Amino acid sequence: MASVSPSSQLNKAVRQHYMSLPQEGKCQVTYIWIDGTGEGLRNKTRTLNSEPKSVDDIPEWNFDGSSTYQAEGSNSDMYLIPVCMFRDPFTLDPNKLVLCEVLKYNRLPAETNHRASCKKAMDQVAEHKIWFGMEQEYTLFGTDGRPYSWPRNGYPEPQGQYYCSVGANNAYGRDIVECHYKACLYAGVKICGSNAEVMPSQWEFQVGPCEGINMGDHLWVARFLLHRVCEDFGVVATLDPKPVTGNWNGAGCHTNVSTKKMREEGGLQYIEQAIEKLGKKHAEHIRVYDPREGNDNMRRLTGLHETSSINDFSAGVANRGASIRVPRQVGNDKRGYFEDRRPAANCDPYVVTRGHCSHLSSF
């Protein structure tokens, strides 16, 4: 049995007594932001005198950036700018979650605030109505650093029986997956599916279709909800692109892309044009498809385990070993979307979608 955190063993019945107390018209708002690592999420909560009707009703706030890898202690105040509001599935209505951009003391975007530039790029190409869908893979770990439910000494059966599986000997941690799905639906996150993945204890959820900046907003909040649900269960969700070395699949964040012209009759020609452009920028994209300039993805994109080689750009219909996959139905219909299989599980969706936005803008 994998190790779980001591906090998850606290008496939840006692907790429920307090959670059911009335709030006397007040509203708790939890502010969420991306920290200086570009991967971690932080949050803190304040009280408002009434339920906000929109994100415009939520005031700016601040935090100590020297404790989140975002500022020096001598000038540490950072601004939290609310940008997207959701219902809170943990403390329930009328309480809210709010995703925030981070600004520095001079009110310029923090180094890991890629939303600001993404929003600008999306606004410039709004007439193209770019839709995205992102497939977030993740792996469950115990607090002992081993994949959840893996044998303490040794390994589970080889890959093959776990993908979209059912049964206690195949699917590890389904309670977490289903609770996360429900939390997303309650919050208003545009989650559209989930499934067990190829490696045991590895799962995937999909978010989309989302237009423009909404893709990054909804995926980041879905990630926050995942980590928060896992906290309740006492396990850890990692987005490491290759969490276990050896003959085990890595974890990606496949990104599906479609413009208005791609979705219309004859749209396949625009899909092919986009793929040609992407091929010319392959090295540039690899550098921004994980937080470490491609070093994370280097462990994953080996040409094995349903990946392409990190060094080569390729595309094909229904080919999961290619950089870009065109679904077979799209090939038959001659319109639709394409799937970029290169982004790592720990990519920043703002960076990934911004890149596709800029390369599709000339259509």
CB 97 within 8 A of CB 88: yes
- Amino acid code (one letter) for 163: Y
- Of all residues in the chain, the percent with pLDDT exceeding 70 is 98
Supply the pLDDT for residue 307: 94
pLDDT grade for 1, boundaries at 50, 70 and 90: low
In the predicted structure, residue 279 carries a pLDDT above the cut 90: yes
pLDDT grade for 360, boundaries at 50, 70 and 90: low
Q: What is the pLDDT of residues 182-194, one digit of tens each?
A: 999 999 999 999 9
Examine domains 6-112 and 123-361 and report if their fold is the same.
Answer: no
Supply the pLDDT for residue 159: 97
3-state secondary structure at position 240: coil
Evaluate the omega torsion of the peptide bond into residue 209 and state whether it is cis, within 30 degrees of 0.
yes
Residue 282 to residue 278: CA distance in whole angstroms: 6
Sign of the Cα torsion 16, 17, 18, 24 reads positive
CB 212 within 8 A of CB 118: no
Query: Angle of helix 268-280 relative to helix 349-360, nearest 10 degrees?
Result: 110
Range scoring the smallest mean pLDDT among 147-151, 166-170, 358-362: 358-362
Residue 78 to residue 193: CA distance in whole angstroms: 36
Name residues whose C-beta falls within 8 Å of residue 210's C-beta, 6 or more positions apart in sequence.
131, 132, 133, 190, 217, 218
Q: Which CATH number fits domain 123-361: 3.30.1490.390, 3.40.50.300, 3.30.590.10, 3.40.50.970?
A: 3.30.590.10
Q: What is the pLDDT of residues 224-233, one digit of tens each?
A: 999 999 999 9
CATH topology of domain 6-112: Ubiquitin-like (UB roll) (3.10.20)
**Mean pLDDT, the chain, integer:** 95
pLDDT grade for 357, boundaries at 50, 70 and 90: confident
Q: What angle do CA 97, 38, 75 make, to 5 degrees?
A: 85
Supply the pLDDT for residue 74: 81
Q: What is the mean pLDDT of residues 80-102?
A: 98
In the predicted structure, residue 362 carries a pLDDT above the cut 60: no
pLDDT grade for 75, boundaries at 50, 70 and 90: confident
In the predicted structure, residue 171 carries a pLDDT above the cut 70: yes
Tokens, residue 171? 């699917």
The residues spanned by each domain of the chain are 6-112, 123-361
Supply the pLDDT for residue 320: 87
In the predicted structure, residue 363 carries a pLDDT above the cut 60: no
Q: What is the mean pLDDT of residues 242-268?
A: 97
Q: What is the pLDDT of residues 285-334, one digit of tens each?
A: 999 999 999 999 999 999 999 999 999 999 999 888 899 999 999 999 99
Q: What is the mean pLDDT of residues 31-54?
A: 98
